[in-house]
Amino acid sequence: MKGEQAYRMAIAGMTCAHCEVTIERALQAEGARGVRAYWRRGEATFTVSDGADLSALQRAVQAAGYTPGQIVEMQEPGPAPVVFSPAGVDADLVILGGGSAAFSAAITATGLGARVIMIEEGTIGGTCVNVGCVPSKFLLRAAKVYHEAGHHGYAGVHTAVLGVEFDRLVAQKRELSAELRREKYEELIAYYGWELVRGRARFAGPDSVAVGDRVVRARAFLIATGARPSVPPIPGLEEAGYLTSTSAMELDRLPSSLGLIGAGYVALELGQVFRSLGSEVTLLQRRPRLLPDYEPEVAEAMGAALERLGTTVLTGTRILRVERMRRGRRLVVLRNGRKEALEVEQILVAAGRRPNTEALDLERAGVALDERGAPMLDETLRTTNPRVWAAGDVTLAPQFVYVAAYQGRLAARNAVLGLEEPADLSAVPEVIFTDPQVAVVGLTRAEAEQQGYRVESAFVPAQAIARARVDLASEGGVVMVTDGESGRVLGVQAVGRHAGEMIYAATLAVKHRLTVGDLVESFAPYLTMAEGLRLAALAFERDVAKLSCCA
């Protein structure tokens, strides 16, 4: 008669008691006995006969919608809790940083029963709530309200433009950031019960960090120190002085003119803020066309919108030097083979981000950096030190708060539970919150072709979307890229006033491998931008301009 052996399997993805029941049933169906699942510990225990196929049990967990980890043999049958905070360490997880990735990781780890220490030198909350998403979108909304007061386009609706007190607007922006920082970050530390240590952390060795005179040892570490604006080495720029996205949103008055170095989403959003509020704005980009990594229809629509707003876009432009003038700055540029000079009051640098790793003494921990200064990671977000993971903007992954939070959760589960769950960034939505908005997810036509798909695509102009018509905002439209063999949706790009509200549905379509037929046969609420997604699916077979409403 065969003997029996007890095992423990690490499992990611359980969030409640119902998950426990699902896991237990899945393992029992594969012949496991005495099964007990523990969602808070992220594991299940069970016994099977000697020689049983353990990989079949992992496949059963995966088929149930969860992520199986290592299966460890137990000395005796029955539950064996994860050993947290073993002798010789101060915490299970030490997190360096106090932004979105750090908080997501801390909430996840404490929910698993781990002891967590967070170390932060600066302002709690990181980029998003303090100097990124929240303040920039607040200013964008204010700028849109002001601009539409004089340019809304509706006959018989009379409005007046009475001016902007920029210092009052900035003060209100600060109040909102402080309110959200308190609610979404500071108050959560006591609620979840981790320790916050104030100060600058640096690695003292492969298994410890120092904060002032205190040395902290842990089972695992997470680098979540974020990133900062990158400043290109342009002669004279430092001497002339410049703004970054952070300092630009703290000005006490509007500049009369602004030269923007860069033309990515930060430059486009802040450029629209200042142009809509009355500044003369010039975007300077080295590459030959606006938004070169986006579909041509998207780039052309965005260019037309900027032109309509009165923003000057100089593509194919190399900045040779910057000079300080008595009342502003002069940029000397090379464009179309000729030197030109541009005089502006202020310069705003929005040319990418740099990871905050210089002060961490990562060489003491054996953590290698890539050529950009970011930690070198495997697919599980683990560094070259097996005790250390990294998450958020410091990794130079797509610089969005939801990506940082996802990486923080994933790294915490892998570090605390010993899982090897890989990161999946194949369906990350991006939104540029200009007016019109630009929203994208998945592959472009060119990317899909490079990956070997037989690409088909369709474009529905905004003029065919009723929501855009009633908004008097008919620039742009929706591009859909599909696999011509299966009809699977590979990517979506949209330009429109509410494009950002539509892209989540497109994200689900890409992530869950929906087809054009799935979208055509789904209900799309009329007079929403989301209807453009269904119309783009219809456009593969029909001329949507020749359809009745909702046909």
Encode pLDDT of 65-79 as tens digits: 999 998 988 764 333
Range of the domain at 380: 91-228+354-417
Of the residues 7, 38, 66, 265, which is catalytic? Answer: 66
Does residue 246 belong to any structural domain of this protein? yes
User: Domain check: are 253 and 289 in the same one?
Assistant: yes
C-alpha closest to that of 517 among 481, 549, 501, 541: 541
User: Domain check: are 360 and 408 in the same one?
Assistant: yes
Q: What percent of the chain has pLDDT over 70?
A: 97
Does residue 80 belong to any structural domain of this protein? no
User: Domain check: are 220 and 364 in the same one?
Assistant: yes
Q: Is 66 considered catalytic here?
A: yes
Give me the half-sphere count of Cα atoms (radius 13 Å) on the Cβ side of residue 524. Answer: 25
Question: Does position 271 have pLDDT exceeding 50, yes or no?
Answer: yes
Q: Is 191 considered catalytic here?
A: no
β-sheet with 477-483: strand ranges across: 430-432, 437-442, 489-496, 477-483, 455-461
User: Domain check: are 165 and 202 in the same one?
Assistant: yes
Does residue 551 belong to any structural domain of this protein? no
Residues constituting the chain: 551
User: Domain check: are 102 and 218 in the same one?
Assistant: yes
User: Domain check: are 475 and 536 in the same one?
Assistant: yes
Q: What is the pLDDT of residues 142-164, one digit of tens each?
A: 999 999 999 999 999 999 999 99
User: Domain check: are 446 and 462 in the same one?
Assistant: yes
Does residue 86 belong to any structural domain of this protein? no
Q: Is 376 considered catalytic here?
A: no
Q: What is the pLDDT of residues 467-519, one digit of tens each?
A: 999 999 989 999 999 999 999 999 999 999 999 999 999 999 999 999 999 99
Number of domains in the chain: 4
DSSP H helices in 157-295:
166-181, 187-192, 237-240, 245-248, 265-277
Q: Is 185 considered catalytic here?
A: no
Does residue 371 belong to any structural domain of this protein? yes
| Confidence bin at 2 (pLDDT 50/70/90) | low
Does residue 528 belong to any structural domain of this protein? yes
Does residue 84 belong to any structural domain of this protein? no
Contact 431, 497 (CB under 8 A): no
Q: What is the CATH number of the domain that holds 474?
A: 3.30.390.30
Domain boundary among 73, 102, 130: 73
Of the residues 9, 14, 118, 502, which is catalytic? Answer: 14
Better pLDDT: 83 or 115: 115
Enter the pTM of the model: 0.84
Q: What is the pLDDT of residues 276-288, one digit of tens each?
A: 999 999 999 999 9
Q: Is 504 considered catalytic here?
A: no
User: Domain check: are 224 and 358 in the same one?
Assistant: yes
Domain boundary among 73, 100, 124: 73
Does residue 14 belong to any structural domain of this protein? yes
Q: Is the peptide bond before 296 cis (omega within 30 degrees of 0)?
A: no
Q: What is the CATH number of the domain that holds 18?
A: 3.30.70.100
Of the residues 7, 9, 118, 128, which is catalytic? Answer: 128
User: Domain check: are 96 and 218 in the same one?
Assistant: yes
Question: In this structure, how many other beta carbons lie within 10 angstroms of the beta carbon of residue 523?
Answer: 8
User: Domain check: are 384 and 308 in the same one?
Assistant: no
User: Domain check: are 216 and 201 in the same one?
Assistant: yes
Question: Does position 255 have pLDDT exceeding 60, yes or no?
Answer: yes
Tell me the average pLDDT across 38-63.
89
* Dihedral sign from CA coordinates of 511, 517, 518, 522: positive
Q: What is the CATH number of the domain that holds 213?
A: 3.50.50.60
User: Domain check: are 255 and 311 in the same one?
Assistant: yes
Q: Is 550 considered catalytic here?
A: yes
